[in-house]
Structure 1
């Protein structure tokens, strides 16, 4: 490390969650990692959970490290306590949030700025690093990450904010994928979870005329309204969502439909809700193959886009929005658990018991 860390008493070992097999997460003692060149060591304050963590927990996420060694967690925030060689962008004591993905920096995609789609994703020794996915993540007391994927937070922001800023980056990167220019447009968002709720706010900040959100849970619909949604649709009470959407948009449908939920039936509903010449953005992972009338999409000139993670420096831009008071982040944290209760926390994420929004492990 290149700077004095005496202000922090860094132990040799730490408590960390390790995945030993499907649905087998255990708390173990691991060595505190040492940051390499270009990396920082962070004392974790909080690490959020999302649907991706459930897929990792179930053993269904590709290219994760071997069972018995790997620590998940990709929505973490904390305080820098160590700097690797060549790092001078940060200081010991800086409070930071992250983009989970760091590309190899050497493949054609990374050189084009598409580091969340690194061609060396999951290839050991090539430099690609996805915290909590292809490298150890934040369900631990300490974690290392690349400085280029870390963002300093001012005193205006809390660690609760920091967790949700990673989530905001996912929505913002997706909106970039469909052009990033929503001024005067009608937007439909499927899913009132953290990604969907951040997307509501981002769409309004980017000038959307009308934002519609649909979800099954009333408390999420109520929160979406508070965060800026112009209309909400309870998908448990409405038989035909596309028809309802067209009623709200003068019969045309929306300019952009965004799936932040991941149910296999949603892409077709998105297609039927989108106006001719519009766009569909898929930012959720699906648990099974999706059936979609592509012929209809082609006839109507509807473009279908996907995006993964928080690329394009999106978290840094989300930090700026939050510091200007234009994003509500921290209040979306509804449930906190100590590391020792990580399995219970994952159970809450799966069951939605108590209608949680963002569940975090807090250190």
Structure 2
């Protein structure tokens, strides 16, 4: 099909059709693959031909209609973990060329608020305000469950050929782990680190801590298959929380001191308390997970132990760029976490697999 005039006028472009297939959310648990016009990139934006888009727990909340500040039903295309190839350039974009392989940061802050100016753009003070320049792909604007997606050039990264699309779909996830480590001080060399949750964020964070020369990385989870993946990716020890008292085992592995840093990436409501019990006096706890409800924990115990607690949201602080650099050097393995692939037309089945954990999915991706 011929290119649209809007896309042709936007700048350099590959052969781009007028319409595309996109998965539109029409209501809670009602997502349909339909024909939509291919969006044209505006100034500072890039049109990307999506190669694949990952799914995660946040997408389940979005699918169920329980995520704030999303576009209206009937217009909204979710998907915030995607990668692909540059198809067209908007005005003033000279950082990329048509044909470049790229991965993304989900968040593009306004660039002018106090938080954005210090790299905390996942906490942009103009969040969900497009008139101020904020964008969060697949969350506050249309995302990657489609053949094409528009993205801000400042939140886009060129990938070398050595990084596959399967690797790249986990780059944002690695950026989440790196940002959390950055917020918590950045250095884990020579330290004992506990990671709660052998999901994609936890497993990418295990790799990051090993590459940053942690003395030992201890992975805590409940599913033996996930813990085995963690071993393969570098965890020095694994703890099955259904079989062992987590805090006692962490203390045993750290010669009675506890972990220098505990990273909670599971979203399990009992894990923050386990982290307090297993962290050394004067140590740190980093919380990167989201929880299904309120969490009860003994804050007095954390205060008595002089534990510093940090939170971080998403992939801020330019850490996706760092994750791309690490993946380019072969120091991050994302493709091994991609366990299920579905064509875009089967998106309902893909989300059923994610929700029901059918076949022990790790990272389920949709391919347009």
Equivalent residue for 1:4? Answer: 12
Paired residues, number: 360
TM-score of the pair, normalised by structure 2: 0.96
Equivalent residue for 2:4? Answer: none
Distance 2:130 2:92 in 1: 22
Distance 1:327 1:281 in 2: 21
Equivalent residue for 1:337? Answer: 342
Equivalent residue for 2:316? Answer: 311
Distance 2:86 2:302 in 1: 48
Q: CA deviation at 1:30?
A: 1.2
Match of 1:192 among 165, 183, 198: 198
TM-score of the pair, normalised by structure 1: 0.97
Corresponding position: 1:295 with 2:300: yes
Distance 1:359 1:30 in 2: 24
Q: CA deviation at 1:2?
A: 5.1
Q: CA deviation at 1:123?
A: 2.0
Distance 1:284 1:111 in 2: 25
Equivalent residue for 1:20? Answer: 26
Would you say the 8 A contact 1:3–1:92 is kept in 2? no
Distance 1:245 1:23 in 2: 41
Corresponding position: 1:275 with 2:283: no
Determine helix, strand or coil for the equivalent of 1:250: coil
Once the two structures are superposed, what CA deviation does each residue of 1:186-239 show, in whole Å capped at 9, x if it has no partner? Answer: 01111111111100000011111010001111111111111110000112222x
Q: CA deviation at 1:9?
A: 2.4
Corresponding position: 1:111 with 2:103: no
Corresponding position: 1:242 with 2:247: yes
Match of 1:180 among 182, 186, 191: 186
Equivalent residue for 1:49? Answer: 55
Distance 1:190 1:133 in 2: 26
Runs of 4+ that moved beyond 4 A: none
Determine helix, strand or coil for the equivalent of 2:320: helix
Corresponding position: 1:126 with 2:118: no
Q: Structure 2, unaligned stretches of length 5 or more?
A: 1-8
Distance 1:112 1:319 in 2: 21
Once the two structures are superposed, what CA deviation does each residue of 1:250-271 show, in whole Å capped at 9, x if it has no partner? Answer: 1111011111110111111111
Q: CA RMSD in A?
A: 1.1
Would you say the 8 A contact 1:39–1:84 is kept in 2? yes
Q: CA deviation at 1:248?
A: 0.7
Q: Structure 1, unaligned stretches of length 5 or more?
A: none
Corresponding position: 1:255 with 2:263: no
Determine helix, strand or coil for the equivalent of 2:193: strand
